Every structure is written in structure tokens, then in C-alpha cells.
Amino acid sequence: MLTFRYVVVDVFTDRPLAGNQLAVFTDAREIPEQLLQPLAREMNFSETVYVYPAAADGHVRVRIFTPSNELPFAGHPILGAAFVLAIPLQLHEIRLETGAGVIPVLLDREGPRIVFGRMIQPVPPWRPYEREAELLEALGVERSGLPVELYDLGPTHVYVALDSEEAVAALEPDLAALARLEVGANCFAGSGRRWKTRAFVPGHGVPEDPATGSAAGPLALHLSRHGLVPFGEEIEISQGEEIGRPSTLYARVEGSAERVERVEVGGAAVVVARGEFRLP
């Protein structure tokens, strides 16, 4: 029998049983390649992380799987894995090697306990989304208050601005139609520092995501590029309430529309369980 140990962590929350669930297999060296996707499907969280020794200048290398496919990068898996791995190492910064490069995560501590983490995300390219009409129809909305644009971090996210937080909460999208578009559909509303969002990613096996770290940075960039949030100002994003997993994410973009210098996404996380698979 082979034994594979994992940790379950709730990410973008400071209390258990909220936020976005994540499984972290802390030593994946002996897990056969053909079992990585089935194990992620068995966990059935938005993402599962497998940890390997570093191959470059990071502390570790990670691979990220949704229930249906592997991703080069995703936000809550990076933050959650950083909390899990940095606790015994007593690090204030941990560098995770991903398919999108090395991602630094800066960690705030109170004694031995990590209370907050900030990941430095890659700056995503963006472009107008050419299937806007199909997206709006699948979401059941007539228009977006801002240009509908796609940001690419490995996972691709498209943003639709709605008139109010109530309109975001009331969404009942056609998930089958959204799955055919194969993008993350992010609908948001708010003002100033506080924003509400919902993310639908059925094309990757995630009907609705409780907290989408890879979408939080591009959302802050989208808002700053279109003049709703000053560059350098941190926003607070609420997500997941409609599916019983309330989450809080923080994001900030430094620079300007002409030269984006830094994209930072932060939040808390809590370890809630440990377990193991025993397989022949």
C-alpha cells in the first residue's frame, strides 16, 4: 500500500469552514503521475496542490489541479500552500515555483502563528473579450458597466460590471453555456475600497468558486485601469456568500495604466484537517 498525506486548509478566511477549501499533498514525490488528476477529483475542491522539491530558486515547486485539469497558476492554492509549508519552517517569505514562474508570498506572524499572507502575482496581459454577447447571455445580464475584458494568468478571467451588489447576488447563470466558453466569468459591483464578486468556472469543474485569488489581482487592475480605484490603493473583495463559504480577499496594484509595476493579493488561511490516502 502507498500512503499519501495531505492537509486541508480554508483560504481567504480567518475562521474554519469558510473561505475556499484546498488540499495540499505536502510530499508528492512518490505519487504516480497518473494518480494526480484522480486524487484531485476525489478531493473535489476547487484546487488541490502537490508539493515537490524546488527545481530553481524557490523553496518548493508546486503543481495545481482542479477537479478536471492542471493549471499553471491559481491564487488560493498558492496562498494556502504558503501557510501550510511556512509554518514549520518559520519563514517570513516563501517562494513557490509554479508553471507561471516563482511566486513570492510575504507572511505576517503573531509569534509562531501566521495571520496573513500577500502573494506577488504576475502582471496579466489583457484584451477585449470577443465572445461578450455569448457571455452576457449565459450570465443572464443585459450589459456591463465597464468594457468586458479578458485577463490571462494561466487561468483566464473575464470581468462583467453590474449595477449593484444585489444584482451580483441574484445571478443564476446558465452553467452549461458558461462551460462552453472555457473562461472564468467574474461578475462584480461595489465602490471605493469595498467590492463584491462572484466567479463561475464550470469549464474547469468549478460551478462557482468561493474565493478566486487569481481573479482578485486582475479585478483590482481592471478597476484601476478604468478609473474606479486609484493605483496603489488596496481593495477588499467579498466572495462566496451565496454558496455558504464567505471569503475576504485583498488586492492592490501599483504603477499606472501605462506601466503596471506590481500586483499583490492577500488574505488569511486556517488549517482545518489532516489525512492520508492508502492506495495499492
Strands 93-98 and 70-71: unpaired
Q: How large is the average pLDDT for residues 229-257? A: 98
Cα 160 from Cα 260, distance rounded (Å):
21
What would the grid cell of residue 162 be?
A: 453590474
- Classify burial at 172, counting beta carbons within 10 Å of its beta carbon; exposed 0-12, middle 13-18, buried 19 or more: exposed
* Domains of the chain listed by start with CATH number: 2-120+268-279 (3.10.310.10), 126-257 (3.10.310.10)
Whether residue 47 lies in the annotated active site: yes
Q: Which of 30, 42, 47, 261 is catalytic?
A: 47
Strands 60-65 and 93-98: parallel
Cα 19 from Cα 21, distance rounded (Å):
7
Give per-residue pLDDT as tens, 159-199: 999 999 999 999 999 999 999 999 999 999 999 999 999 99
Q: How large is the average pLDDT for residues 132-146? A: 98
Q: Which 3 state secondary structure label does DSSP give 73?
A: coil
**pLDDT value at position 90?**
83
**pLDDT value at position 87?**
85
**pLDDT value at position 13?**
98
Give per-residue pLDDT as tens, 90-116: 889 999 999 999 999 999 999 889 999
Q: Which 3 state secondary structure label does DSSP give 174?
A: coil
* Count of C-beta atoms within a 10 Å radius of residue 275: 11
